[in-house]
Structure 1
């Protein structure tokens, strides 16, 4: 017989059984309630005897009076019950499912899911960046091409509204036209990314500490600061670059262009490895010291207290590069602001790591200058210059043309490759393969044999990303309703750098407090000494006080004179090189014009009846030989 109704079946993975309901109602409601006990009315020790004593027990019971039995019963009934052990408190255990902890509502499920995605998104995006750069390097090693994709900026686990970004304009300035808004916002962003007082103090202290350590470990070398910290375009978290200079090095900047020989390079690597082992490996002030093999080998590490990255390089002199960069910054007033935005665009997308196929600080600076030098009408402000940079490099054909900055012209990559004499000879002998045609060729204005794009393997990713940013920025300027026009370009940098900048500021603040405390102690000691007519205690005079003796003064003067000499020689060498390159360009253009004129003359003569065209070069040689 079939049932009159269909039975309901619960298909949930955590279904609620009736036994659980009964258990919660009867057991969990009163967990410590004692059980009911039976009243023992006939229980006597005789009941525990064997069957042979049964008769005697019955006879004794029958002969006992009713009063005695009542007294015995009352004694048994009034006996105190045994105490049960105290029940342990109940522990509620979170129910788990195949997908994780069981949640009671859809809102809780959605919230937990969003938190998990926000927590895992930065790591997933970082892995995606590494995969893109690894694929580009693999294709480059195989002399193959690859497909460029848009590289998204790295993310933080937390989020912030665009209107709360520190460089965001106020309501009054947001009403300005789009280009004017962008120009003001670039200035505000530059002011935010410029190191403040405490960050500057911390960076200077780390520079002096590392310099003193290197002088102690390598007394035969001079230590120079170079890079962005030397040129003045460094940001709060920029690397601190140190150059180890042999005391016997020549001051001639022309000698600095010669790359080290293989023997000298091996010697430099060995020395850096010894320095890492002796000075950095067991020193708790530095983290993760690594020797990196490059054209100029270096040691990379991180300062433990400030979190700043440090690089110690055995490189040639960079005086000519510094002179050229300073000249461009004097020529273009907004160049620092523009470079700051471009550098942050590359940093937040992982495209500024040279060892992974990105572009370093110096190539990026020259890319910015090249976009301005090769524009028919140079932009007059930073906003138009940023739009020009994104458009210029997003559309530039890297397969056919190379770029020269001084003098400013385009050249044929295949006909005029940027190579040293040694590289050119090896290429002609087939010992080295030519670069893939998609690689950028950007000639260094400080060294005509140095190609600044030869390590930029990720150039295709860079170009696709810049095209996308240009399209988005142009659209945002037209609409002009976004709280921050720079947010799609550099907005993520705020949260990505927030904790590191906070640590750096705290370190600088602690240094300032220590200096103030030390000065107050000295002032108090001087005041007491003056009152008592005594001299200041020597321990306060020598405690981390700046030395002003004759030896320090002489050394400082010697360094200043040496730097002035380097700058003068660098300017002279730069002028000679640029004049020679200009003459070569003019000679190349003259030959090209003569060739074009000869072809036009030949075509014109060919149109005259009975007049042959311009003779081929081989025919002319044969005629000369016959004659």
Structure 2
């Protein structure tokens, strides 16, 4: 018969192949535990920074989103801090409704995750360093910021997306020239060039501050799509708190990098935007007034987890709609781009 083994941590007999799955699952759990520990340390460190800012401010003001709020917020940095509570938590004992408590906590979380003045300035200085090197190589080039830092949806550990325009050479060549120059100058401690991506990208980390940057060359799409998302954030006030939470949710589980099979920021923006465009509260003023962020978060996971038909694709253009993948030749078997399935999203690319 099949050889059986009994792992020390298991009380049952397992086949060899089952034991391998058991060991892989244990390794994944260990990696997840390490990732969670790092996240907790980052959040508690961030709370200390927020508390110092609150203490130094003469009259701290907590800004809320342009969306329904419930009750008064207890300012960060005031009173006794309970280490067992999340670092963004603000007590509201008078709010008994669980969904409204979730609504308020999502707003608190969004406020907590906003960049501090020091974090914003550090990223701007990092962009200045990149821009100085690029202009020394290509005097006519232009440096543009796009992505989550531009739209205001960046997490505290988020990188900076930089587009270098008007570079008189191929992107692959420009990336290698820039990488060589910054390495020799000691500006970066790590780099990765991904030429096989749909949009070739150069990933670097600053030697001075540890911040990362994704750099693309002569690519206008990222600038246009970032403007599109920024406009939708203004149009849908619910979009920012939902996105900030879901982005962190994916980051915590290592599912935020498209290159490794996860869901990147722009794709996530469109997925949440489509959900809001299709939500019943959008067309019903009475329902809209009674719909909180707590309701929307639950409905988001319900929509994509139970209701959405994955033989369909989504679009966020023209108010949002769905269509069958086959209509555009997506998702079929065989050779070509469709092999292996498609992400069911039709995103605006703003091509001329």
Q: Same fold (TM over 0.5)?
A: yes
Report the CA distance shift for 1:401/1:155 in structure 2 as closer, same or farther (over 3 A).
same
CA contact (8 A) 1:398 1:441 kept: no
CA contact (8 A) 1:125 1:154 kept: no
1:361 Cα offset (Å):
0.7
C-alpha separation in 2, matches of 1:187 and 1:291: 37
Aligned to 2:76: none
CA contact (8 A) 1:280 1:289 kept: no
C-alpha separation in 2, matches of 1:446 and 1:273: 27
C-alpha separation in 2, matches of 1:334 and 1:153: 32
C-alpha separation in 2, matches of 1:344 and 1:404: 24
Structure having the higher helix fraction is: 1
2:297 to 386, 389, 394: 386
Gaps of 5+ in 1: 1-122, 130-151, 249-263, 420-426, 449-572, 574-627
Alignment of 1:40-79 (within 5 A): none
C-alpha separation in 1, matches of 2:204 and 2:339: 31
1:304 Cα offset (Å):
2.1
CA contact (8 A) 2:274 2:314 kept: yes
Aligned to 1:241: 161
Alignment of 1:246-265 (within 5 A): 246=166
Gaps of 5+ in 2: 1-25, 45-81, 283-287
Alignment of 1:409-420 (within 5 A): 409-417=321-329
1:243-284 Cα deviation digits (max 9, x unpaired): 111168xxxxxxxxxxxxxxx8xx32123122212x122332
Q: Which has the higher contact order (CA 8 A, sep 6+)?
A: 1
Aligned to 1:473: none
Aligned to 1:523: none
- SS of the equivalent of 1:410 reads strand
- SS of the equivalent of 1:367 reads helix
1:336 Cα offset (Å):
1.2
2:183 to 262, 271, 281: 281
Could you tell me the TM-score, scaled by structure 1's length?
0.41
1:169 Cα offset (Å):
2.7
Whether 1:405 aligns to 2:308 is no
Whether 1:313 aligns to 2:240 is no
1:418 Cα offset (Å):
6.0
Aligned to 2:117: 197
CA contact (8 A) 2:160 2:213 kept: yes
Report the CA distance shift for 1:153/1:393 in structure 2 as closer, same or farther (over 3 A).
farther
Whether 1:155 aligns to 2:9 is no
1:400 Cα offset (Å):
1.3
C-alpha separation in 2, matches of 1:390 and 1:229: 26
- SS of the equivalent of 2:215 reads strand
Report the CA distance shift for 1:324/1:392 in structure 2 as closer, same or farther (over 3 A).
same
Whether 1:165 aligns to 2:92 is no
- SS of the equivalent of 1:282 reads helix
Structure having the higher strand fraction is: 2
1:342 Cα offset (Å):
0.8
C-alpha separation in 2, matches of 1:193 and 1:228: 13
Report the CA distance shift for 1:176/1:331 in structure 2 as closer, same or farther (over 3 A).
same
Alignment of 1:77-476 (within 5 A): 124-125=27-28, 154-156=35-37, 163-170=84-91, 172-173=93-94, 175-246=95-166, 267-277=170-180, 279-293=181-195, 294-318=197-221, 319-378=223-282, 380-397=291-308, 399-407=310-318, 408-417=320-329, 432=336, 434-437=338-341, 439-447=342-350
1:381 Cα offset (Å):
3.0
Report the CA distance shift for 1:322/1:154 in structure 2 as closer, same or farther (over 3 A).
same
1:128 Cα offset (Å):
5.9
CA contact (8 A) 2:133 2:182 kept: no
Q: Which range moves more in the overlay, 208-217 or 390-399?
A: 390-399
C-alpha separation in 1, matches of 2:211 and 2:29: 21
1:156-205 Cα deviation digits (max 9, x unpaired): 178888743221232625x5210110111111111110011222222222
What is the count of residue pairs matched by the alignment? 278
CA contact (8 A) 1:153 1:348 kept: no
C-alpha separation in 2, matches of 1:180 and 1:163: 21
C-alpha separation in 1, matches of 2:297 and 2:280: 15
- SS of the equivalent of 2:145 reads strand
